[in-house]
Amino acid sequence: MTGARICLLGTLDEQLRSHLTSHPAGHERAAAVLFRRLACDIPGLPASDRYVATAVVPFERDWITSSSPVHVDFAVAPLRELFRRCEDEGLVFGFAHNHPDGKSPFSPQDDKNELTLLKAISNRNGTRVSFVALLLLGDTWVARTRNAADPHVAHDVRHTIVLGDHRLHIHKPSSVDEVPDDGDDVLARQAAAFGRPFVHKFGSLRIGVVGCSGTGSPTGTMLARNGAAELIFIDPDKLGKSNLNRVRGARKADVGSNKAKWLRDYTLGLDIGTQVAAFDCAVDVDSDAFDALMTCDVVFGCTDDQIGRDVLNAACYLYALPLIDMGLGGWINKNAAGEVRLRGHYGRISTVFPEAGDCLHCQGVVSAMGVRRQLALRANPDLTEAELRERYLTGGGEEAPGVGPFTSAVGDYAVATLLDLISGFRRWPPELRRDVFHIDFVLMEIRSPESQADPECSFCGAKTLLLHRSRYRLGRPALGEAHVAS
């Protein structure tokens, strides 16, 4: 499935809608939208750029030369400062407007406006620039892209996603890559449960899975079985014998294979249409894997590595990347006879959105000390606990036992969470948080911990890092200079 994908934060969506629909006489209105373009070649996947909106600039009254309920004309000269900003910051210029009747598709007048803008931009910024057009039809966004190298060809986008308050509002053209409704296809049950439009929306997603073991393997395979268009698997580790109790589909003959590549091959072997890429590396050190992940529409964190979780948490805010992170916790002891007993075991599902809920740091999932501890151990695996304490790197803790039914259940709950983000089928009791809940496998309860939100947190509190632009990926020199694709 080809076609670019558009992403809007909820606040920018609200700003656009408010401006475009507020003309006192019901005329068309217009705004500029500046996008960050995330694009890279990924072996195994088709080319599909992701455009993340970073700013909205409503057209001022004196920029408009004429308007009516069926057209809007404007002067180009006031936009030149925005063209300069796009060149300086590596951004893509977008033009948004509305059709007040809520029905008409892109018109010949829209073609004329887009070509005028693209010519003005390319005259200033060069012939390699791209362009995004957004059209508000009633409550629905329709979008397309153009390139200065071939300006007269307009490309329909795959979808436009609005990241609302723990919702993925997916606007998808009904004419693009429809799934046949024959009642007997692989996705017939999903269509029966959620409707055929849901199947089309889910089938337009590119999804990343970081960590491909006990929770990652059921997550990845279930995403494919639910009709995801494209998957990206990332894991540096190899399958061991101890993984066979919980890695869904793994056999003894697979021991020694890289987990990400094995899961890719296994998923492709299902032969149900999902395209898959794999990276056998850590996401915090490999720039190709990182860039590929940033082109995703949503990412699942399935690693017990605090370093990786810290990277995914930051990417959520800097790249508007919705994150569903999962983990397990538990404890055992012995009875009077010295027999081991499982006394507690729970799975955690965290849903981190750029503008909603607590980040993984404020949820207590990731800590700065935990990241530093793992970095120290990565640099020197032979460090003892005494040496770590000397460096004030305490609190390593014990991992929960990796037992197949628990890890698989957590993965399945996480995939169901994505279904809910799209369809809204869950009925949330007031005591459960949308951003994090625990499934207690011993007490048979679902509950949420109390919020420990920090209003000064640069991620989810003050939000000073929201869509922050830096010379380096995530502002971290170790990840290399940020890739710019205008």
Residue ranges of domains in the chain: 5-171, 188-475
Q: What is the pLDDT of residue 177?
A: 46
**What's the predicted TM-score (pTM) here?**
0.94
Q: What is the pLDDT of residue 396?
A: 53
> What are the backbone angles phi and psi of residue 281, rounded to the nearest 5°?
-155, 170
Q: What is the pLDDT of residue 158?
A: 96
Q: How far is CA 453 from CA 195, 356, 357, 360, 461, in A?
A: 37, 12, 9, 10, 7
Does residue 393 surpass a pLDDT of 80? no
Q: Does domain 188-475 have CATH number 3.40.50.720?
A: yes
Q: What is the pLDDT of residue 374?
A: 78
Q: Do 5-171 and 188-475 have matching folds? A: no
> What are the backbone angles phi and psi of residue 46, rounded to the nearest 5°?
-75, 160
Q: What is the pLDDT of residue 330?
A: 82
Q: What is the pLDDT of residue 380?
A: 82
Q: Percent of the chain at pLDDT above 90?
A: 76
Q: What is the pLDDT of residue 339?
A: 79
Question: In the structure encoding, which two tokens stand for residue 411, read together?
Answer: 């993965």
State the Cα–Cα distance between residues 448 and 357, nearest whole angstrom. Answer: 13
Mean pLDDT value of segment 221-246: 94
Spell out the residues 6+ positions from residue 286 whose beta carbon is closer than 8 angstroms to its own.
279
Does residue 316 surpass a pLDDT of 70? yes
Q: Residue 367: which pLDDT band, with cuts at 50, 70 and 90? A: confident
Mean pLDDT value of segment 60-66: 95
Q: What is the pLDDT of residue 288?
A: 94
448, 432 in Cβ contact below 8 A? Answer: yes
Q: Residue 368: which pLDDT band, with cuts at 50, 70 and 90? A: confident
305, 325 in Cβ contact below 8 A? Answer: no
Q: Residue 99: which pLDDT band, with cuts at 50, 70 and 90? A: very high
State the Cα–Cα distance between residues 15 and 391, nearest whole angstrom. Answer: 48
Q: Which helix (H) or strand (E) holds 390?
A: helix 385-390
3-state secondary structure of 147: strand
State the Cα–Cα distance between residues 260 and 239, nearest whole angstrom. Answer: 9
Does residue 115 surpass a pLDDT of 50? yes
Q: Residue 376: which pLDDT band, with cuts at 50, 70 and 90? A: confident
Q: What is the pLDDT of residue 398?
A: 47
Q: What is the pLDDT of residue 484?
A: 57
Mean pLDDT value of segment 363-382: 83
Q: Quote the CATH superfamily of domain 5-171.
A: Cytidine Deaminase, domain 2 (3.40.140.10)
C-alpha R_g of the chain: 24
Closest CA to 440 of 409, 476, 480: 409
Q: Tokens 């039914």 appear where? A: 405
DSSP 254: G
Question: In the structure encoding, which two tokens stand for residue 69, read together?
Answer: 């309920």
147, 130 in Cβ contact below 8 A? Answer: yes
Beta-bridge mates of residue 447? 438
Mean pLDDT value of segment 225-240: 95
State the Cα–Cα distance between residues 158 and 95, nearest whole angstrom. Answer: 18
Q: Which of 274-283, 296-305, 361-370, 393-402 has the lowest mean pLDDT?
A: 393-402
The amino acid sitting at 441 is F
Does residue 455 surpass a pLDDT of 50? yes
Question: In the structure encoding, which two tokens stand for residue 219, read together?
Answer: 């997550």
> What are the backbone angles phi and psi of residue 421, rounded to the nearest 5°?
-60, -30
* Strands 155-156 vs 5-9: parallel, antiparallel or unpaired: unpaired
Closest CA to 37 of 80, 90, 97: 90
Q: Which of 171-185, 340-354, 472-486 has the lowest mean pLDDT?
A: 171-185
State the Cα–Cα distance between residues 145 and 130, nearest whole angstrom. Answer: 7
Mean pLDDT value of segment 75-83: 96
Altogether, the residues listed in the chain come to a count of 486
Does residue 394 surpass a pLDDT of 90? no
Question: In the structure encoding, which two tokens stand for residue 95, read together?
Answer: 């033009």
The amino acid sitting at 315 is A
Q: Percent of the chain at pLDDT above 70?
A: 93
Look over the chain and give the mean of its residue pLDDT values, rounded to a whole number.
91
C-alpha 241: how far from chain center: 32
Q: Tokens 């499935």 appear where? A: 1
328, 343 in Cβ contact below 8 A? Answer: no
The amino acid sitting at 400 is A
State the Cα–Cα distance between residues 208 and 220, nearest whole angstrom. Answer: 9
Q: pLDDT higher for 248 or 43?
A: 43
Q: What is the pLDDT of residue 77?
A: 95
Question: In the structure encoding, which two tokens stand for residue 225, read together?
Answer: 């079985």
284, 479 in Cβ contact below 8 A? Answer: yes
Q: What is the pLDDT of residue 382?
A: 77
Mean pLDDT value of segment 234-257: 92
State the Cα–Cα distance between residues 86 and 339, nearest whole angstrom. Answer: 66
Q: What is the pLDDT of residue 176?
A: 44
